Structure 1
């Protein structure tokens, strides 16, 4: 006879004191296993306990979810269809399968809320279920508060990562948006690197031409401490996102190219502004400098004015000073001329050896003969 569920629950609490957040039936398969095995799972704290059935007292397996890297949904959400998740743990990959899509959505909500300490943005749950998630989040933060560290100081410029480390085709879009962009604008490129639905991970969407027409494909890129893992049949690890893009380009023999948004071309040319010329002011516009002379007081100007000139009476004759000086100079000049002529005449007579009287007579005879030849003296 099986024990009562309450009894089983009390026994499990004696094994671990972790609070129970969610429980239910699920299927589990590890890497290397072909078939899923049925378990009864309990999410206690950040650990997932797996029991063979709901009556087992001790767990068969325990998965530590505190180091969970990602939780990927292998199939889209569809009601009345099984849901399969892939849990990427440091040591292995675990696949969980739920027969009901609604149950799978609840498992995903509780696991991500406990591990990431926040409720996922996109959950297809009812309002009452969202309220329970909020209560679980408060309880887990009180039970195991995360240590908050002070912000690090700014890194020096030479240590900051360069923008070239992110490929040019990285766009912050969803899977549906990336597929629409590749279908609507195939001339812009065929590869888009985008964020994954899981935090801190990436995904790659590409559009590849085949004989049956264009095909859209999506690949997961998991971020790990050792690099970025491209989730293929045989996983490939590369050191950077640029190497992720390079890997796909080489595998497709460069028939694909990164997606780059086309920039619109301008059809107008704006006239350039005229160069600034040096303005030279015209001479008329330059104001003359002002004389820096102290103003004179009226009392001082009256004292320094010269006396008015003497006005002669009506009957008084006034000889101007200029006329007296002029006559004096003329008289002096006449005396000097007479002396110069007399000296010259004496020199001439002494050189010719004649007396002044003889010279005068000769001069008179010469003038008389010249007068007779000319017809007498003029009237």
Structure 2
């Protein structure tokens, strides 16, 4: 008899997390933009002030009630979006609750928000990838796919996933054979041709990327991008140490090692940390450039590590100093990371097929 599993992982958790994070970031940015445009109005009168974090709490409560009350995938997706909007609205006011004077404009608040989103993403990824899925988890997820059959909404993709999960379930479980027979007798509906907006955008970007990445010059552009990034990191380190750390009037007075050490003392912690993470990112880029002729796969993995260092380290300090103006760099890093992961998958597939 199989040992019962207390926590059954949902194979579609990544989709819901994506909706949650997108909704959270969008709501946070929308609130900041609205407050900036309207001059930060106060809801309430006199000593009464209704903080918008309360609305965030209500939306998160609505999300929990939706999850507890309904079973369909549509309700789970709605709960993820409501929860994301609520969480973004809630955490926007974190500055008020980490300062003694309730300072909404506390400079490190944006960095704290960014780190929180990163930790949510990493925690969810760890839950999904920490260990292999068990036969019980495959069976339970197959049952969840079968919910669509009960609603007369099972399409061919969902049927295919259900059959795949059943193949990886324990054959000794009597439910496996019964579910496989039920799937064979259930009529599938056509795959939706008009998916919801985020899915439509993802499909468009994916198809566009598949098309562009097929050209011979695409890897060259990626390599050129990272070489340019390496040069920028080196120039940034030079400017940070010699211009900011020392000052323009003393630039000509250079005594190499001792002078550099003295200048480093003049840098703030955030400048030093951003410098260190930028140099580490540049080191991985250099490793990738060196290995590009020998192995594209190894080179792309080095580039991926460089981008991950930028996202998880450098951007934290960028948000601390620049606040929301650092979003452009974050979006660029995420776009490059997605591109690299696709290229790594392609190179890995080539390596597997060439070994056969």
Q: TM-score, normalised by structure 1?
A: 0.21
More strand by share: 1
More helix by share: 2
Q: TM-score, normalised by structure 2?
A: 0.21
Answer 1 or 2: higher relative contact order, Cα 8 Å, separation at least 6. Answer: 2
